[in-house]
Structure 1
Amino acid sequence: MSISLPPAQEHFIQSKIQAGKYRSAEEVLEILLRLLDEYDRYNLKWVEDTRRKIEEAVAVSNHTAPIDGETFVHQILERFQRSH
Protein backbone atom coordinates (compact mmCIF):
# COMPACT_ATOMS: atom_id res chain seq x y z
CA MET A 1 0.00 0.00 0.00
CA SER A 2 1.20 3.46 -0.77
CA ILE A 3 -0.17 6.55 0.94
CA SER A 4 0.30 10.27 0.48
CA LEU A 5 0.34 12.57 3.47
CA PRO A 6 -0.07 16.31 3.66
CA PRO A 7 3.24 18.11 4.25
CA ALA A 8 2.41 18.90 7.90
CA GLN A 9 1.86 15.21 8.66
CA GLU A 10 5.03 14.21 6.84
CA HIS A 11 6.94 16.83 8.84
CA PHE A 12 5.42 15.50 12.07
CA ILE A 13 6.57 11.96 11.30
CA GLN A 14 10.02 13.10 10.19
CA SER A 15 10.46 15.20 13.33
CA LYS A 16 9.74 12.12 15.48
CA ILE A 17 12.30 10.10 13.55
CA GLN A 18 14.92 12.88 13.66
CA ALA A 19 14.42 13.25 17.42
CA GLY A 20 15.50 9.61 17.67
CA LYS A 21 12.27 8.50 19.24
CA TYR A 22 11.41 6.17 16.32
CA ARG A 23 13.50 4.41 13.69
CA SER A 24 11.23 4.74 10.66
CA ALA A 25 8.00 6.15 9.25
CA GLU A 26 6.61 2.62 9.34
CA GLU A 27 7.22 2.39 13.08
CA VAL A 28 5.48 5.73 13.65
CA LEU A 29 2.51 4.68 11.52
CA GLU A 30 2.30 1.31 13.28
CA ILE A 31 2.04 3.08 16.64
CA LEU A 32 -0.48 5.58 15.28
CA LEU A 33 -2.64 2.77 13.91
CA ARG A 34 -2.44 0.90 17.21
CA LEU A 35 -3.54 4.07 19.03
CA LEU A 36 -6.38 4.59 16.55
CA ASP A 37 -7.57 1.05 17.20
CA GLU A 38 -7.40 1.66 20.96
CA TYR A 39 -9.33 4.91 20.54
CA ASP A 40 -12.02 3.16 18.47
CA ARG A 41 -12.40 0.41 21.09
CA TYR A 42 -12.62 3.00 23.89
CA ASN A 43 -15.18 4.99 21.92
CA LEU A 44 -17.29 1.88 21.28
CA LYS A 45 -17.19 1.00 24.98
CA TRP A 46 -18.19 4.57 25.88
CA VAL A 47 -21.16 4.40 23.50
CA GLU A 48 -22.24 1.03 24.91
CA ASP A 49 -21.88 2.26 28.52
CA THR A 50 -23.78 5.46 27.76
CA ARG A 51 -26.56 3.53 26.01
CA ARG A 52 -26.83 1.19 29.01
CA LYS A 53 -26.99 4.12 31.45
CA ILE A 54 -29.71 5.79 29.37
CA GLU A 55 -31.72 2.57 29.24
CA GLU A 56 -31.36 2.19 33.03
CA ALA A 57 -32.46 5.80 33.56
CA VAL A 58 -35.48 5.31 31.30
CA ALA A 59 -36.41 2.13 33.18
CA VAL A 60 -36.20 3.97 36.51
CA SER A 61 -38.19 6.90 35.16
CA ASN A 62 -40.98 4.54 34.12
CA HIS A 63 -41.50 3.76 37.82
CA THR A 64 -41.00 7.26 39.20
CA ALA A 65 -43.69 9.87 39.59
CA PRO A 66 -43.09 12.85 37.29
CA ILE A 67 -42.01 16.20 38.76
CA ASP A 68 -42.10 19.66 37.25
CA GLY A 69 -38.94 21.26 35.87
CA GLU A 70 -38.58 23.82 38.66
CA THR A 71 -38.65 21.13 41.35
CA PHE A 72 -36.17 19.04 39.38
CA VAL A 73 -33.69 21.92 39.03
CA HIS A 74 -34.14 22.82 42.70
CA GLN A 75 -33.33 19.25 43.76
CA ILE A 76 -30.20 19.21 41.60
CA LEU A 77 -29.02 22.54 43.04
CA GLU A 78 -29.60 21.29 46.59
CA ARG A 79 -27.64 18.11 45.86
CA PHE A 80 -24.83 20.18 44.35
CA GLN A 81 -24.69 22.50 47.36
CA ARG A 82 -24.58 19.55 49.78
CA SER A 83 -21.65 18.04 47.91
CA HIS A 84 -19.50 21.20 48.27
Structure 2
Amino acid sequence: MQISLSPESVNLVKAQIQSGKFASAEEVIAIALKLLVAHQQDYADWVIDTRQKVEVGLGQIERGEVLDGEVVITQLKARLQQKQAAQS
Protein backbone atom coordinates (compact mmCIF):
# COMPACT_ATOMS: atom_id res chain seq x y z
CA MET A 1 0.00 0.00 0.00
CA GLN A 2 1.24 3.46 -0.80
CA ILE A 3 0.06 6.55 1.00
CA SER A 4 0.58 10.23 0.43
CA LEU A 5 1.38 12.52 3.32
CA SER A 6 0.96 16.24 3.54
CA PRO A 7 4.19 18.23 3.72
CA GLU A 8 3.50 18.88 7.41
CA SER A 9 3.13 15.16 8.10
CA VAL A 10 6.31 14.39 6.16
CA ASN A 11 8.18 16.97 8.23
CA LEU A 12 6.77 15.50 11.43
CA VAL A 13 7.85 11.98 10.47
CA LYS A 14 11.31 13.23 9.49
CA ALA A 15 11.64 15.10 12.77
CA GLN A 16 10.79 11.97 14.74
CA ILE A 17 13.42 10.00 12.86
CA GLN A 18 16.01 12.76 13.29
CA SER A 19 15.30 12.84 17.02
CA GLY A 20 16.72 9.34 17.19
CA LYS A 21 13.60 7.91 18.78
CA PHE A 22 12.61 6.04 15.63
CA ALA A 23 14.67 4.25 13.01
CA SER A 24 12.32 4.62 10.06
CA ALA A 25 9.16 6.21 8.72
CA GLU A 26 7.47 2.82 8.97
CA GLU A 27 8.21 2.69 12.70
CA VAL A 28 6.80 6.20 13.23
CA ILE A 29 3.64 5.32 11.30
CA ALA A 30 3.25 1.99 13.13
CA ILE A 31 3.42 3.70 16.52
CA ALA A 32 1.02 6.41 15.33
CA LEU A 33 -1.48 3.78 14.22
CA LYS A 34 -1.20 1.93 17.55
CA LEU A 35 -1.89 5.21 19.35
CA LEU A 36 -4.88 5.84 17.10
CA VAL A 37 -6.34 2.44 17.94
CA ALA A 38 -5.75 3.04 21.67
CA HIS A 39 -7.37 6.48 21.42
CA GLN A 40 -10.40 5.04 19.65
CA GLN A 41 -10.75 2.35 22.34
CA ASP A 42 -10.43 4.94 25.11
CA TYR A 43 -13.13 7.02 23.46
CA ALA A 44 -15.41 4.01 23.05
CA ASP A 45 -14.91 3.16 26.74
CA TRP A 46 -15.67 6.77 27.69
CA VAL A 47 -18.90 6.70 25.65
CA ILE A 48 -20.03 3.48 27.38
CA ASP A 49 -19.17 4.88 30.81
CA THR A 50 -20.94 8.17 30.09
CA ARG A 51 -24.07 6.43 28.83
CA GLN A 52 -24.17 4.33 32.01
CA LYS A 53 -23.82 7.45 34.16
CA VAL A 54 -26.57 9.21 32.22
CA GLU A 55 -28.81 6.16 32.67
CA VAL A 56 -28.19 6.21 36.42
CA GLY A 57 -28.87 9.96 36.52
CA LEU A 58 -32.11 9.62 34.58
CA GLY A 59 -33.23 6.89 36.96
CA GLN A 60 -32.52 9.18 39.90
CA ILE A 61 -34.52 11.97 38.27
CA GLU A 62 -37.46 9.63 37.66
CA ARG A 63 -37.41 8.61 41.33
CA GLY A 64 -37.26 12.24 42.44
CA GLU A 65 -33.72 11.91 43.80
CA VAL A 66 -32.66 15.37 42.67
CA LEU A 67 -31.38 18.53 44.29
CA ASP A 68 -32.30 22.08 43.46
CA GLY A 69 -29.33 23.68 41.70
CA GLU A 70 -29.64 27.00 43.50
CA VAL A 71 -29.71 25.27 46.89
CA VAL A 72 -26.58 23.29 46.04
CA ILE A 73 -24.73 26.43 44.86
CA THR A 74 -25.72 28.27 48.04
CA GLN A 75 -24.47 25.36 50.17
CA LEU A 76 -21.19 25.19 48.25
CA LYS A 77 -20.63 28.93 48.64
CA ALA A 78 -21.29 28.67 52.38
CA ARG A 79 -18.79 25.81 52.72
CA LEU A 80 -16.19 27.78 50.77
CA GLN A 81 -16.69 30.82 52.98
CA GLN A 82 -16.36 28.67 56.10
CA LYS A 83 -13.16 27.13 54.76
CA GLN A 84 -11.72 30.54 53.91
CA ALA A 85 -12.67 31.88 57.35
CA ALA A 86 -11.02 28.91 59.04
CA GLN A 87 -7.80 29.52 57.10
CA SER A 88 -7.66 33.20 58.15
Query: Which category of TM-score, normalised to the shorter sequence, fits these structures?
Result: 0.7 to 0.9
Could you state the TM-score of these two structures normalised by the residue count of structure 2?
Answer: 0.80
| C-alpha spacing 1:4/1:75, structure 2 compared with 1 (3 Å) | same
Secondary structure of the corresponding residue to residue 23 of structure 2: coil
| C-alpha spacing 1:17/1:46, structure 2 compared with 1 (3 Å) | same
1:76 to partner: Cα distance: 3.4
Question: How many pairs does the alignment contain?
Answer: 81
Q: Which residue of 2 aligns with 1:50?
A: 50
Gap runs ≥5 in structure 1: none
Show CA shifts across 1:37-60 (max 9, x none): 000000000000000000000011
| C-alpha spacing 1:80/1:35, structure 2 compared with 1 (3 Å) | farther
Indicate the RMSD between aligned Cα atoms, in angstroms.
Answer: 2.1
| C-alpha spacing 1:52/1:19, structure 2 compared with 1 (3 Å) | same
Secondary structure of the corresponding residue to residue 76 of structure 1: helix
Q: Which residues in structure 2 correspond to 1:39-78 (within 5 Å)?
A: 39-64=39-64, 71-78=68-75
Q: Which residue of 2 aligns with 1:12?
A: 12
The letter of the residue matching 1:43 is Y
Could you state the TM-score of these two structures normalised by the residue count of structure 1?
Answer: 0.83
Runs of 4+ in 1 over 4 A off after TM superposition: none
Q: Percent identity, please.
A: 33
